[in-house]
Amino acid sequence: MANIPIALELYSVRNELVEDTAGTLKAVAEMGYVGVEFAGHPNNTAQELRTLLDDLGIVCCGWHTPIDLVQDDKLSETIEFNQILGNSNIIIPGIPQHMRETREDWLKMAEFFNQLAEKLASHDMATGYHNHHIEFEELGGELPWDTFFGNTNSEVIMQLDTGNAFYGGAELLSIFERYPNRAITVHLKPYSKTDGFRPLIGDDDVPWSDVFKACETNGGTEWYIVEYESDLYEPLESVERCLKNLKAMGK
């Protein structure tokens, strides 16, 4: 089985990151995370973040980039920012509701992502899409997930969020089977049928061993990215406990 490195989705510690960027990144690195994924509009310059990451010996494996920052009027600036940062994965974390109300809207989104992927490829970058739960609710006779990934090129990263998909009723393993080698980065988010998103990774109902097997065989996965958003513990403690649970599982 592949030895896949583990990163942290920094949205999990977003308030701490705003209050103390350097201290929060240092704490994350000391926990044992080897990478991070940023989220949202930047609060620091790319060079500031790159210097912090380099000093800590960790890397940026992705950025959850708002869709407005990949439109034509902002794309060159976004590319330059991520080049300085050393990030090659521009992941769109969601699509505004008015842009995804029909199956035809999802088809338009698929074409937009295909074009974006082509524009980024010349800069050795890729784009991808991160799900919530709505992608697994039938729309126009098909799941939006299938409408989207069935009509995007293989270069478009399928960033599966396990907890969100499980909550939406998705058959997690079939996703890997239908779209092999596209789960380049995977969000490890816990979900319990009784306690929602509150339990830590390993204390929930996600079939982790099956997910890991799928990622490490036909998923093409290069990064596991922990995301935890609930309040069982303080954010930094929660993500540290999640990492320890993953290590105990042999990850």
Segment 124-143 shows an average pLDDT of 98
Q: pLDDT confidence of 223, banded at 50, 70, 90? A: very high
pLDDT for 54: 98
**DSSP helix/strand/coil, 223:** strand
Q: pLDDT confidence of 240, banded at 50, 70, 90? A: very high
Q: pLDDT confidence of 78, banded at 50, 70, 90? A: very high
pLDDT for 100: 97
Q: Are 92 and 65 in contact (CB under 8 A)?
A: yes
pLDDT for 39: 98
Question: φ, ψ for residue 22 (rounded to 5)?
Answer: -65, -45
Q: pLDDT confidence of 188, banded at 50, 70, 90? A: very high
The secondary element (H helix, E strand) that includes residue 227 is: none
Q: pLDDT confidence of 152, banded at 50, 70, 90? A: very high
Would you give the end-to-end CA distance of the chain in angstroms?
10
Percent of the chain with pLDDT over 90: 99
pLDDT for 184: 98
**Separation of alpha carbons 142 and 189, rounded Å:** 25
pLDDT for 225: 98
pLDDT for 24: 98
User: For every residue of 143-173, which 3-state class applies, written as one string?
Assistant: CHHHHHHCCCCCCCEEECEHHHHHHCCCCHH
Q: pLDDT confidence of 55, banded at 50, 70, 90? A: very high
pLDDT for 125: 98
Segment 195-218 shows an average pLDDT of 97
pLDDT of 1 above 60: no
Is the domain spanning 6-248 CATH 3.20.20.150? The answer is: yes
**Separation of alpha carbons 243 and 237, rounded Å:** 10
**DSSP helix/strand/coil, 214:** helix
Express each pLDDT in 19-49 by its tens digit: 999 999 999 999 999 999 999 999 999 999 9
pLDDT for 219: 97
* Domain residue extents for the chain: 6-248
The distance from CA 27 to its chain's CA centroid, rounded to whole angstroms, is: 21
- What mean pLDDT value characterizes the chain? 97
**Spatial CA neighbour of 204 closest among 172, 156, 159:** 172
pLDDT of 147 above 70: yes
